[in-house]
Structure 1
Amino acid sequence: MNVQNPTPFPGAQSAQVSFHRTELSVILSLYGRMVAAGEWRDYGISCLKDAAIFSVFRRTAEHPLYRIEKRPKLRNRQGQYCVVGMDGQILRRGHDLRTVLRVLERKLIRPVE
């Protein structure tokens, strides 16, 4: 008699990519500063099979302004983190999340009049 461990859904793979707690704290720190500056208003998190995506919105019903993506398969190539703009253009890619997010922190720096 063979004993098998039960699976919740036969044929479904439960492995999906998600952000780690330390990664989320870095992202949410930037998000909080941008909300305080009045630039961003809402966000959404998607955990997919091959990527985890943090989408930033100016308003809830719009397309995302930016997407912060984590793709572990690209870890040994260009880097697993990237910031994608509204038009789909990759703004920055790299191995360290803090350095990748610097492209968005520049939006906080404004000249004083």
Structure 2
Amino acid sequence: MNAPTPLPLPSPEVVCFDRREFGAIFSVYGRQVAAGEWRDYALSTGREVAVFAIFRRAAEVPLYRIEKRPELRARQGMFAVLGQDGRVLRRGHDLAQVLRVLEKPVRPVD
């Protein structure tokens, strides 16, 4: 008699950005691409974190990383923008507020 085949283990939950979050990210990303500042991006998902990495050129290290860490939801906020050197530039509960750190200040016209 054959032994029963075990059921596949459920896959662990994967953290990812939802449609509204992607809308906010791509709004900022699109403006910076149009301005010629950014040229490429990469997306990574995992069990603990989802990362949207922004590049000036494809062969570089990312200029910025936008991270979503749901485990920090109750404490510091699950969204963060990290700089090229890994420093946290801004962290919070509201993605739109966190993304403001990526907006270039408007310079007055002479």
Above 0.5 in TM-score?
A: yes
Looking at structure 2, the residues matched to 45 and 108 of structure 1 have their Cα atoms a distance apart, in angstroms, of 26
CA deviation map 1:40-82 (0-9, x unaligned): 0000010011000000000000000000000000000000000
Looking at structure 2, the residues matched to 72 and 98 of structure 1 have their Cα atoms a distance apart, in angstroms, of 16
Q: How many residues align?
A: 107
| 1:60 match: secondary structure | coil
Aligned residue for 2:51?
A: 53
Post-superposition shift, 1:15? Answer: 1.1
| Conservation of the 8 A alpha-carbon contact between 1:37 and 1:108 | no
Q: Alignment identity in percent?
A: 57
Aligned residue for 1:39?
A: 37
Looking at structure 2, the residues matched to 5 and 56 of structure 1 have their Cα atoms a distance apart, in angstroms, of 42
Unmatched tracts of structure 1, length 5 or more:
none
Unmatched tracts of structure 2, length 5 or more:
none
Runs of 4+ in 1 over 4 A off after TM superposition: none
Aligned residue for 1:89?
A: 87
Give 1 or 2 for the bigger CA radius of gyration. Answer: 2
Aligned residue for 2:25?
A: 27
The alignment's TM-score, normalised by the length of structure 2, stands at: 0.89
Looking at structure 2, the residues matched to 5 and 76 of structure 1 have their Cα atoms a distance apart, in angstroms, of 37
RMSD value over aligned CA atoms?
Answer: 1.9
